[in-house]
């Protein structure tokens, strides 16, 4: 059987963007199904339907990967436990490390109490843990260096993950989230208006600050399938992408250059920078190229006016990307994949002549 892969980025059909990425690949006659994130809880049925329709009605899924705790990534995965036998669930559970973290939380003197609180803070992960235990599914840690089928985990390292748990506004030390919730309830949050400026080819503007600690917890996966380099990023930010790039040589990935890449966090400006993209994809072309050298896919809901940001789309195109969005429908990228009736080539996003100031 000819080696192939097919990676699907599902349109989660919500007002907010989310990630649900089932994929199937066959290498040397061995076929695996691998699901990275599952969108919102309401996405679960859509995910099951897609796997059954296009992956041959399987009974078994080899691996489920939760990139990080957000509800737009973890919620829909619960449905898979009702419909399939799961080989392994890969996710990071902060409460497992309460003994290692306890000295960094002055409000807690008991590891058990800290673990209990962390479970309350991350309910999506706790719910998946319960389902896995009920169904006898092994839960594994996707720390840097782990191998999931043909995929290598490039980030996070355990050390950086524990630091992010402490830094997170969701954790027991932080008060900012509480204050923001109260302010929002009182109607005191003022959203900054985004101004757009016309920009010449190659101009790039990104805010100075990185994304949130929760997003930087994202599991970053790399595989070389059919001689094509594939990178799945979740909602990883600049720090996570830099850590992943540092580790890339240890799994045989020579940078810059990939063939398929998930644009992190639905195309947010806080997740990438000129320097990070140069490191992963190479420097900008002097002029707009006649053809694209790689494919970049962004999970962005049609009704989500905040994603993807024009500055991000521009920056990927500057480096030779064909940028594809899930706005309006599911998207697939693959090689030697089985034909699908009714699926046609998509039109990439056009180059934005302006960007967010």
Q: Which domain holds residue 329?
A: 4-174+195-338+351-356
| Domain annotation covers residue 260 | yes
Mean of all residue pLDDT scores within the chain: 92
| Domain annotation covers residue 180 | no
Report d(CA 100, CA 13) in Å as an integer: 40
pLDDT tens digit sequence for 40-64: 888 899 999 999 999 999 999 999 9
As for how many domains the chain has, the answer is 1
pLDDT tens digit sequence for 76-120: 899 999 999 999 999 999 999 999 999 999 889 999 999 999 999
* pTM for the whole structure: 0.93
User: Bridge-partner residues for 294, per DSSP?
Assistant: 321
| Domain annotation covers residue 151 | yes
- Pairing outcome for strands 138-140 and 147-148: unpaired
- Tell me the backbone φ, ψ of residue 134, rounded to 5 degrees: -60, -35
Quote the percentage of the chain above a pLDDT of 70.
92
| Domain annotation covers residue 346 | no
Q: What is the mean pLDDT of residues 146-157?
A: 98
Max mean pLDDT among 162-171, 182-191, 252-261 falls in 252-261
Report d(CA 248, CA 222) in Å as an integer: 9
| Domain annotation covers residue 182 | no
| Domain annotation covers residue 111 | yes
Are 217 and 69 a contacting pair, CB within 8 Å?
yes
- Phi-psi domain of 340 (left: phi exceeds 0; alpha: psi -120 through 50; beta: other): beta
pLDDT tens digit sequence for 343-356: 999 999 999 999 99
| Domain annotation covers residue 120 | yes
Reading the block at residue 239, the tokens are 């720090």
Any idea what the CATH number is for the domain that residue 163 is in?
A: 3.60.15.10
Helix, strand or coil, per DSSP, at residue 262: strand
| Domain annotation covers residue 179 | no
């Amino acid at each position: 059987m000819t080696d192939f892969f097919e990676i699907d980025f599902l349109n989660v059909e919500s007002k907010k963007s989310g990630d649900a990425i089932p994929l199937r690949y066959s290498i040397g006659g061995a076929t695996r199904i691998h699901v990275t994130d599952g969108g919102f809880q309401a996405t679960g049925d859509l995910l099951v339907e897609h796997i059954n329709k296009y992956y041959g009605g399987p009974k078994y899924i080899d691996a489920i990967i939760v990139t990080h705790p957000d509800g737009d990534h973890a919620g829909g995965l619960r449905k898979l436990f009702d419909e399939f036998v799961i080989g392994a669930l890969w996710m990071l559970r902060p409460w497992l490390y309460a003994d290692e973290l306890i000295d960094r939380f002055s409000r807690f003197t008991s590891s058990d109490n800290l673990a209990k609180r962390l479970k309350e803070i991350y309910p999506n992960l706790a719910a998946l843990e319960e389902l896995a235990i009920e169904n006898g599914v092994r839960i594994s840690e996707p720390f840097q260096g782990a191998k999931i089928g043909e995929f290598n985990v490039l980030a996070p390292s355990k050390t950086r993950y524990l630091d992010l748990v402490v830094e997170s506004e969701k954790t027991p030390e932080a008060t900012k989230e509480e204050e923001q919730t109260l302010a929002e309830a009182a109607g005191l949050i003022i959203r900054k208006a985004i101004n757009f400026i016309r920009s010449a080819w190659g101009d790039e503007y990104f805010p100075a600050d990185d994304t949130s600690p929760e997003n930087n917890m994202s599991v970053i996966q790399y595989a070389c399938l059919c001689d094509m380099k594939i990178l799945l990023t979740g909602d990883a930010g600049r720090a996570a992408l830099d850590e992943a790039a540092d580790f890339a040589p240890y799994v045989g990935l020579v940078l810059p250059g990939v063939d398929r890449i998930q644009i992190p966090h639905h195309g947010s400006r806080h997740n990438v920078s000129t320097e990070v993209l140069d490191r992963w994809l190479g420097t900008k072309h002097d002029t707009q190229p006649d053809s694209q050298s790689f494919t970049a896919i962004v999970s962005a809901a049609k009704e989500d006016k905040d994603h993807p940001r024009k500055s991000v789309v521009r920056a990927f195109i500057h480096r030779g990307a064909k940028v594809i969005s899930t706005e309006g429908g599911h998207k697939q990228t693959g090689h030697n994949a089985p034909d699908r009736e009714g699926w046609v080539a998509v039109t990439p996003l056009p180059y934005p002549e302006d960007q967010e100031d």
